[in-house]
Amino acid sequence: MAAGIVRSRSVVILFTALLVPSLAAGAVLAHAPAALAAEPSPAAPSAARLPVGPATPAAAANPITVENQNPGSMGWLLGSPVGGDTANQMKGYWSAVSAKAGDTITLYATTNPAQAFTLDIYRMGWYGGAGGRLRLTVALTGISQPPCTPDATTGMIACGWTGSYSLTIPSDWVSGMYLGLLTNAAGYRNNTIFVVRDDRPAPFLYQQGINTDQAYNNYPNDGATGKSLYTFNSYGANTVSGQTRAVKVSFDRPYKDFGFDQVDEIEFIRWIERMGYDVTYQTDVDTHANPDALKNHKAVLSVGHDEYWSMEMRNGFESARDAGVSLAFFAADASEVQVRFEPSADGVANRVVVCYKDAVLDPVQGPTTTTKWRLPPVNRPEQTMRGVQVVSMVNGGNANFVVANSSHWIYAGTGFKDGDSVPGIVGYEMDSFQSSYPGPNSTSFTLLSSSPFTDYAGVPQVSNSSIYLAPSGAWVWSSGTISWSWGLDGFWHQRNDVRIQQTSVNLLNAFINGAPLDNLFMTVPTTAVAGQPFTIDVTAADSLGNPIAQYGGTVHFSSSDAATAAKLPPDSKLTKGQGSFSVTLATAGSQTITVSDAAAAKTTTVPITVSAAPASRFALATGGNPTVGTSFTFTAAAQDPYGNTDPTYTGTVHFTSSDTSAVLPPNSTLTNGQGSFSATLTKAGSQTIVATDTVTAAITGTLALNVRGTAASLDVVVPATAKAGTAFSVAVTAKNSDGTTATGYNGTVHFTSSDTSTGVVLPADSPLTNGQGTFSATLAKAGAQTITAADSNNALSTTVTVAVSAASATKLVLASSASPVAGTSFGFSVTAQDQFGNTDLAYAGTVHFTSSDTATGVVLPADTMLSNGQATLAATLIKSGAQTITGRDTVTATITGTLSVTVRAGAAASLTLDAPAGAKSGQAFTVSVTLKDQYGNVATGYRGTVHFATSDPLPTAVLPGDYTFTAADAGTHTFTQGVTLWTIPSQTVSATDTVNASLTQFKWVNVSLL
């Protein structure tokens, strides 16, 4: 960032991590203890730090997902010892920062002393957590290359070594960051990096910021000769800068120390490839060389420390944004300082980064002067593109990320609330929105965090992340911190957080599919004229009301106007989240138009008032058909082609009729397009009344009428006889007074009958045709019945009689008025009836009888033939209580019926005394008395008096008094504790009717001492 400020603690962390011997191939990934030595001790891993899947699935198969199905290796971790910059035991660099399949790049390597070395090339990715895949191993012969010395004027160090190995990029090497691990025979190691491009239009383009890596690169970091664009780590003589720092740095030299400074990038790469997003890779040098290629993607991702930008890069990013390509800055301090590129001494383009960092020193003055973008003469603050710009560096460990504007769609599904914090991901350089500089061109610019920290000078500061929607529909997001990737993957720092992961998922998904649809806005005119098209505008908007340029949903239109003439747009796609459509409505009055996206469950309804079009016709109507010679009322309405009444119609209406003798209204005007009139017609049958505008003859309308003539009577003909339930014909004829058929009659005939039984079917109210009509009727009740045909409007009514006979018997009805007594004959009747309850006089079947009473002595009728469908018979039942007698046709078993009776017991014929077999002397006991008839039925009707006696001679014996039975006893009475005997051993107790001595019984009771 600024001269004199150490670039990053991450350098120390990564250096330590890459040396950890335990992190060899196959090592566990959950922890990297030595790598965290300089960090505050993080909390133990928890579910809150596990990776989260994208809110919408990434493509099932793309080059990234297919590549990451291959087995990974952790052999890319450097280990120790490291080939350092002083002894140069093992160092190297490549002839190009990137290459495509088929391109050849050259490795320049030095070993000290000269010895064999091995080149292992790994592609960096997820690979099941291993983080890399070994793609190539080559054994090479090393030489000791000459030292690299700085240019005395610019300080640039370009090594110019002899090539050690030429690599032609294989066709199956997928685009990505590649690490070349160099290991000499003595075991010393170092790293080289390059990017494999494929230049395909993947949705996401990852930009590797190697300009910044080179700006900080002070190879050889020997404390004597190494130089970078920074004074704090540059050595030796002063340059044209007036300090030890260089104003030009070359890619033709190794990176300092262990040769790898992509901590934040590695964690991001692991995460994005784990998620399966389709991403392709290039460097910022490639962006400089071909800035228009950025427009081939949905979004461009700047990851890691990306501070140094050329004019071509800046213009390319802004041009892509203005063409609808979204931009995401996953680290702070992007595009702070402008650089230029120059070719190498041997003419290879873009191998030298030029940056004087001071407008006064730079010999090139103007838009490309190499100073901060926000300063003169460039005057293009970074936040006009990014939304925020670098403010400072944190003093000490990383600060917490503090959420703001948590309702923004980018935080959907995170659970974030304003003020929530994520530990330790704000650092080591941070951005903020600085009001002293202009912001981006957007009406939706939003700050997404406000994270306080103290900078290296002890000054309180605030870091901001931000997002805005460009006029092109592109989203631009800045994390505001270099350490955002710490929240995505915990490989180095164990700061991964599901909320940060979900936020990133929401962002990347919005780049592909647009921000989540929050509303469908629809602009509709307040009024329209029926039949005339008008335009509506629809916008798919996010939660901030911004059009969603990437919206790919389908909008459906509907309306409260269901008229056939109403025309709505078909289901449609929007263009950059917006669309204009033509609508035609046809029904006057208050209507609505609705636009919806069923998949997103979004619906918007807007009202509109539709007025009638100019009148093109008259609509005439009346409440019914008139009668000859009788005045009737009809209405006339001036209507447009869609049936709406035109209230603005001011013409004059003239009336004519097919009945030349008719009495018609005079020429008339309408009120609000409507009028009510009366007319009298003189001719029966089909007639018309026609209304015509007196000026515009095409405005006309016809009322068709069937004029009723007058009839003197209705003649009704029915058959003399009919059978219940069987339809028969009813012929009705309207007659003139002279007996002829009234063919002009157009009244309505209503039918009634004296038979109101269930099952009666009469014709509906009906007109006659030419004065005649034949109808069907069904009656149900046997006997003489009537049918009446009437026209109440014309005071006509005729009644005829039809003799209805029963239908065939379907059941037997048994009935009796008797209350039978057991053993006593009683009478009952049997009737054969049809389904309507009529007696079938023609029934000739034989009836067989059964009973629920099967006791001996039951007498039932023999099988019996009925006479005129009826018979009176007798039966004797024995068993008291509820009993039935059933009659059944001996041939047709479904013809049956049952009589239910309650049989009363006969007179009492016996008395039963119930007493215990034994009792204690002087203790009372219970006895009961029951009276029964001769069939053993309890004589419930018994009302006699019972007297008790005993053989016990002692006067202390106790017996019940004489007791008279009541209806409540129902033939049985219990005398509780009613008897006490004293004399032992055995005594009798007897009960006897006081009138009928034959009703008696005694019982022996064995009396014993207490």
Lowest-pLDDT range of 57-71, 979-993, 996-1010 = 57-71
Give the closest residue to 58 by CA, choosing from 173, 176, 203, 175.
203
Asked if the model's pLDDT at residue 636 lies above 60, the reply is: yes
Distance CA 444, CA 477 (A): 12
- Across residues 55-78, what is the average pLDDT? 83
Pairing outcome for strands 721-723 and 796-805: parallel
The tokens of 432 are what?
């903020």
Respond yes or no on whether the N-terminal peptide bond of residue 985 is cis (omega within 30° of 0). Answer: yes
Distance CA 672, CA 647 (A): 4
Q: Which residue has tokens 């014996």?
A: 957
Burial class (CB in 10 A: 0-12, 13-18, 19+), 769: exposed
Q: Which residue has tokens 């991450």?
A: 10
Respond yes or no on whether the N-terminal peptide bond of residue 93 is cis (omega within 30° of 0). Answer: no
pLDDT band at residue 792 under the 50/70/90 scheme: confident
Contact 205, 297 (CB under 8 A): yes
Q: Which residues of 182-201 are buried (b: 16+ CB within 10 A; e: fewer)?
A: bbbeeebbbbbbbbbbbeee
Question: Can you name the residues that pair with 910 across neighbouring β-strands?
Answer: 932
pLDDT value, residue 23: 31
| Backbone phi, psi, residue 813, to 5° | -115, 115
pLDDT (tens digit, 9 = 90+) per residue, 741-755?
Answer: 888 787 899 999 999
Strand order in the sheet with 728-735: 713-717, 728-735, 772-777
pLDDT band at residue 31 under the 50/70/90 scheme: very low
Residue 50 CB contacts under 8 Å (≥ 6 apart), including other chains: 496, 498
Residue 660 CB contacts under 8 Å (≥ 6 apart), including other chains: none
Neighbours of 945 (CB within 10 A): 12
Asked if the model's pLDDT at residue 821 lies above 90, the reply is: yes
Residue 308 CA: distances (Å) to CA of 4, 286, 288: 17, 14, 11
Cα torsion 914, 918, 924, 925: sign: negative
Asked if the model's pLDDT at residue 20 lies above 90, the reply is: no
Within this chain, domains 617-707 and 910-1008 share the same CATH topology: yes
Distance CA 842, CA 984 (A): 78
pLDDT value, residue 625: 86
Lowest-pLDDT range of 29-43, 76-90, 269-283 = 29-43
Asked if the model's pLDDT at residue 47 lies above 60, the reply is: no
Distance CA 11, CA 63 (A): 31
pLDDT band at residue 60 under the 50/70/90 scheme: low
pLDDT value, residue 1: 59
Distance CA 214, CA 358 (A): 18
pLDDT value, residue 962: 97
The tokens of 685 are what?
């049958």
The angle that helices 498-513 and 263-274 make with each other, rounded to 10 degrees, is: 70
Distance CA 64, CA 125 (A): 9
Asked if the model's pLDDT at residue 45 lies above 70, the reply is: no
Residue 368 CB contacts under 8 Å (≥ 6 apart), including other chains: 310, 311, 338, 340
Which alpha helices (H) appear in 850-945, and where do they start and end? none
- Residue 260 vs residue 370, higher pLDDT: 370
Give the closest residue to 839 by CA, choosing from 812, 864, 863, 815.
812
Contact 514, 537 (CB under 8 A): no
Give Cα 323 distance to the centre of its chain: 35
pLDDT (tens digit, 9 = 90+) per residue, 763-788?
Answer: 999 999 998 999 999 999 999 999 99
Distance CA 620, CA 700 (A): 10
Distance CA 89, CA 112 (A): 4
Burial class (CB in 10 A: 0-12, 13-18, 19+), 458: exposed
- Across residues 244-270, what is the average pLDDT? 93
Give the closest residue to 107 by CA, choosing from 184, 148, 165.
165
Report the SS3 class of residue 509: helix
pLDDT (tens digit, 9 = 90+) per residue, 676-703?
Answer: 999 999 998 899 999 999 999 999 999 9
Q: Which residues of 614-650 are buried (b: 16+ CB within 10 A; e: fewer)?
A: ebbbbbbeeeebbbbeeebebebbbbbebbbbbeebe
Contact 638, 618 (CB under 8 A): yes
- Residue 455 vs residue 740, higher pLDDT: 455
The tokens of 1010 are what?
């207490």
Burial class (CB in 10 A: 0-12, 13-18, 19+), 713: middle
Which alpha helices (H) appear in 442-495, and where do they start and end? none
3.40.50.2300, 3.20.20.70, 2.60.40.3450, 3.10.20.310: which CATH number matches 910-1008?
A: 2.60.40.3450
Contact 836, 811 (CB under 8 A): no
pLDDT value, residue 544: 81
Asked if the model's pLDDT at residue 925 lies above 60, the reply is: yes
Distance CA 310, CA 306 (A): 11
Distance CA 527, CA 530 (A): 10
Give the closest residue to 771 by CA, choosing from 879, 685, 643, 830.
685
Within the chain, how many helices (H) and strands (E) appear? 8, 62
Tell me which amino acid residue 397 is: G
pLDDT value, residue 247: 99
The angle that helices 9-19 and 263-274 make with each other, rounded to 10 degrees, is: 70
> Domain 811-903 carries which CATH code?
2.60.40.10
Asked if the model's pLDDT at residue 44 lies above 70, the reply is: no
Asked if the model's pLDDT at residue 26 lies above 80, the reply is: no
Residue 833 CB contacts under 8 Å (≥ 6 apart), including other chains: 806, 809, 810, 811, 812, 813, 839, 840, 869
Contact 523, 536 (CB under 8 A): yes
- Across residues 344-361, what is the average pLDDT? 98
> Domain 519-611 carries which CATH code?
2.60.40.1930
406 CB-side CA count, 13 A:
14
Report the SS3 class of residue 426: strand
- Residue 265 vs residue 11, higher pLDDT: 265
Distance CA 930, CA 971 (A): 6
Q: Which residues of 345-372 are buried (b: 16+ CB within 10 A; e: fewer)?
A: eeeeebbbbbbbbebeebeeeeebbbbb
pLDDT band at residue 2 under the 50/70/90 scheme: very low
Compute the mean pLDDT over every residue in the chain, rounded to the nearest whole number. Answer: 92
Contact 950, 988 (CB under 8 A): yes
- Residue 458 vs residue 42, higher pLDDT: 458
Q: For the chain, what are the domain ranges? A: 519-611, 617-707, 717-797, 811-903, 910-1008
% of the chain surpassing 90 pLDDT = 86
Q: Which residue has tokens 């100073």?
A: 371
- Residue 707 vs residue 457, higher pLDDT: 457
Length of the chain, please? 1010
Which segments within 60-203 are labelled E, that is strand?
90-94, 98-100, 104-111, 116-124, 132-141, 165-168, 176-184, 189-197
| Backbone phi, psi, residue 902, to 5° | -115, 115
Contact 312, 284 (CB under 8 A): no
pTM, 2 dp: 0.63
Q: Which residue has tokens 């009961």?
A: 928
> Domain 617-707 carries which CATH code?
2.60.40.10
